[in-house]
């Protein structure tokens, strides 16, 4: 019978060292030896970020948040210079709350409710604990989730943290002594709080750097708290603490009421019910890892930007980096910028981050099927290697945004070529009456273009610095786009076949050129014109850029 599994002492966090070896370590080890580990190496990227946020919450709560911003930044600078964490503070905090980190405690188990019981006497089933990510991304796809019989205690601890952060919405098992239970069911309250956001983190060369880079000292909240500092939770919502009071609280928000069921040193089942429901709107002052956008139809209401698994990170990068008029740090009609960017810019301005220092900018999140969001349909986990001084320079950010626009316009040209080739081959005659087919053809052409541009953009972006010759790099990118998208167009023309090569004669009332014969050659010429329009001119007005520098 399992009696104790304290997360400070027992190995459960998966880490990878520089040699690529993956091992499990305790909380005490992960803080004490963070420089030895290159990165977290959980079962999913979303599990990594859930555990990263837990580690950051512990650091936040262990240091003095009453100091001024200048004092906090100076303190951060000392840690960064020596590449060390405030382990003395962390271990003092550990000793104060150690008993609340026991996974198996009968009265106050970590992130669970002691004695939690369902009204039916049934359990939720282990598959409900594990994120069922499609496309084989789930580490348990080979174990047939539906027949999963047990988890090791380290596995269960990792999935517990992940479930509190990212659990899908839907009807849950109703619990005794929960006033919201109706007919033995706990009705939907939305996804886990972290799951509602598209997260962006900065990763350094090791876990020490990653933790420090994401430790936004100017967002520490004096009245912050976390669940293990408060009295043990009970079934149902915590009416005494209805909303997060700071970043650490938000990082570890218990969106679910849970209890792991133990058997022979393993977890054999779980109870999962809805917990503390929070409207995520307008929480931008508490969340450093997300950018915010206006909510459709709601004045002065902002919601987190989310990521798409079907869209490469660089295609949506500009709104995340912008710190200017289009998205200020603390507001504007266009939304709220990613606080991480303002934090990195502050560190650079203070001389704590040096020119040439690089990070991996990583986007993470889960996608849920709308509107119920009861099913996970995608995992977002992408990264870009960038120089910090470049992505915090507004002139460079503007260049990146325009370069992405050029790529978008070129991809549209490829999509239109695919649509035109199908038209001249007689696959459809009236675009308005064949919108679904036309949309599919355009999408196929665009995606082929994006796939061909993907690695090129990443390499081009990695070469940007705040001292780069922007006009030269802009011209280089336009040349690359033209040289890469032309072969995409040629491939589409070859695949169009003989019917497209023969073409068709349009009538006098045709939508294209009345009376003009159109064929593959006509489509190619039209594509060439569109591609040139997409890539002509400079991305940034050089005169304006020079004025901004002076």
Q: How confident is the model over 139-182, as pLDDT tens digits?
A: 555 345 556 889 999 999 999 999 999 999 999 989 999 999 99
| pLDDT tens-digit readout, 134-147 | 655 555 553 455 56
**Rounded to the nearest 5 degrees, what angle is found at the Cα of 399, between the Cα atoms of 396 and 403?**
140
- What pLDDT is attached to residue 334? 72
- What pLDDT is attached to residue 256? 97
pTM, to two decimals: 0.92
If you average pLDDT over residues 356-361, what whole number do you get?
96
| pLDDT tens-digit readout, 245-301 | 999 999 999 999 999 999 989 999 999 999 999 999 999 999 999 999 999 888 889
* Banded model confidence at residue 314, pLDDT cuts 50, 70, 90: very high
* Banded model confidence at residue 339, pLDDT cuts 50, 70, 90: very high
Higher confidence at residue 370 or residue 327?
370
Backbone angles phi, psi at 168, to 5 degrees: -70, 160
- What pLDDT is attached to residue 131? 86
* Residue 293, strand partner residues: 303
- What pLDDT is attached to residue 517? 78
Letter string b/e over residues 319-332, b meaning 16 or more CB atoms within 10 A of that residue's CB: bbbbbeeebbeeee
Give the residue from 489, 477, 483 showing the smallest Cα distance to 444.
Answer: 489
Strands (E), 350-413: 358-368, 376-387
Give the residue from 211, 203, 208, 212 showing the smallest Cα distance to 76.
Answer: 212
- What pLDDT is attached to residue 323? 58
Upper half-sphere CA count for residue 491 (Cβ side, 13 Å): 12
| pLDDT tens-digit readout, 201-235 | 999 999 999 999 999 999 999 899 999 999 999 99
**Percent of the chain scoring above 90 in pLDDT:** 75
Q: Are 204 and 262 in contact (CB under 8 A)?
A: no
Go through the domains of the chain in sequence order and give each one's CATH number: 292-392 (no CATH), 396-536 (1.10.132.100)
């Amino acid at each position: 019978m399992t009696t104790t599994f304290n997360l400070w002492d027992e190995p459960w966090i998966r880490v990878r060292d520089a040699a690529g070896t993956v091992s499990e370590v305790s909380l005490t080890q992960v803080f004490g030896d963070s420089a030895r580990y290159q990165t977290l190496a959980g079962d999913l990227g979303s599990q990594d970020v859930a555990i990263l946020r837990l580690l950051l919450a512990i650091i936040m709560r262990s240091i003095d948040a009453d100091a001024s911003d200048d004092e906090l930044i100076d303190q951060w600078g000392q840690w960064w210079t020596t590449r060390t964490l405030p382990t003395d503070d962390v271990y003092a905090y550990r000793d104060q709350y150690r008993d609340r980190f026991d996974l198996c405690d009968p009265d106050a188990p970590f992130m669970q409710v002691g004695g939690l019981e369902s009204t039916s006497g049934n359990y939720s089933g282990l598959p409900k604990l594990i994120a069922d990510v499609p496309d084989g991304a789930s580490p348990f796809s080979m174990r047939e989730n539906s027949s999963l019989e047990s988890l090791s205690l380290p596995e269960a601890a990792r999935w517990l943290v992940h479930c509190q952060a990212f659990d899908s919405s839907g009807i849950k098992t109703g619990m005794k002594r929960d006033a919201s239970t109706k007919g033995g069911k706990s009705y939907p309250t939305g996804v886990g709080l972290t799951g509602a956001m598209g997260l962006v983190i900065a990763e350094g060369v090791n876990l020490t750097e990653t933790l420090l880079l994401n430790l936004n000292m100017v967002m520490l909240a004096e009245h912050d708290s976390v669940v293990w500092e408060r009295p043990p939770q009970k079934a149902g919502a915590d009416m005494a603490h209805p909303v997060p009071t700071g970043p650490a609280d938000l990082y570890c928000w218990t969106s679910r009421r849970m209890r792991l069921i133990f058997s022979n040193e393993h977890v054999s089942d779980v109870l999962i019910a809805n917990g503390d429901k929070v409207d995520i709107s307008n929480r931008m002052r508490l969340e450093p890892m997300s950018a915010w956008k206006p909510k459709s139809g709601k004045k002065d209401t902002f919601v987190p930007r989310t990521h798409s698994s079907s869209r490469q990170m660089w295609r949506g990068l500009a709104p995340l980096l912008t710190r200017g008029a289009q998205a200020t740090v603390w507001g504007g009609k266009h939304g709220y910028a990613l606080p991480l960017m303002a934090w990195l810019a502050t560190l650079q301005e203070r001389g704590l981050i040096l020119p040439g220092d690089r990070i991996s900018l990583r986007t993470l999140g889960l996608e849920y099927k709308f509107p119920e969001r009861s099913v996970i349909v995608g995992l977002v986990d992408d990264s870009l290697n960038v120089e910090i001084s470049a992505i915090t320079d507004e002139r460079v950010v503007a260049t990146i945004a325009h370069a992405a626009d050029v790529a978008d316009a070129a991809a549209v040209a490829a999509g239109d070529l695919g649509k035109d080739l199908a038209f001249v081959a007689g696959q459809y005659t009236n675009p308005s009456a064949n919108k679904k087919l036309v949309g599919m053809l355009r999408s196929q052409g665009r995606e082929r273009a994006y796939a061909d541009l993907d690695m090129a953009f990443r390499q081009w972006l990695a070469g940007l610095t705040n001292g780069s010759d922007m006009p030269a790099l802009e011209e280089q990118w336009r040349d690359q786009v033209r040289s890469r998208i032309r072969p995409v167009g040629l491939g589409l023309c070859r695949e169009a076949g003989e019917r497209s090569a023969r073409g068709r004669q349009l009538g006098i009332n045709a939508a294209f050129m009345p009376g003009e014969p159109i064929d593959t050659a006509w489509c190619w010429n039209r594509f060439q014109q569109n591609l040139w329009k997409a890539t002509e001119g400079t991305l940034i007005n050089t005169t304006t850029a020079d004025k901004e520098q002076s």
